[in-house]
Amino acid sequence: MCAINRLFLNAEKFLLSRDWVVVLSSGKTLSGLNATLTALDQLANVISPIVTGVLIFSYLDFKIKVTLQLP
């Protein structure tokens, strides 16, 4: 599972950081666009585990209630 995570993480960084920055720049400075993409990447790295934890917790809570037939 960790290897799959690393694979997609590296693919995302390679595709977004290298190819699309030049396309998106269209006259803007690359340093400003790189800073924005880095900030978005860091924000996603903080929010993703929180959202994943909430989704897993709510799913498991639902499964426990259904299994035990709790109200």
pLDDT score for 20? 66
Predicted pLDDT at 24: 67
Helices (H) and strands (E) counted in the chain, each on its own, are 3, 0
SS3 45: helix
CA distances from 52 to 7, 43, 57 (A): 19, 14, 8
The pTM is what? 0.55
Q: Over the stretch 38-70, which tens digit does the pLDDT of each residue have? A: 888 889 888 988 988 888 888 888 777 777 776
* Whole-number Å distance between alpha carbons of 65 and 71: 7
- Nearest CA among 56, 61, 19 for reference residue 70: 61
Q: Residue 71's pLDDT is what?
A: 65
- Across all residues in the chain, what is the average pLDDT? 78
More confident residue, 64 or 24: 64
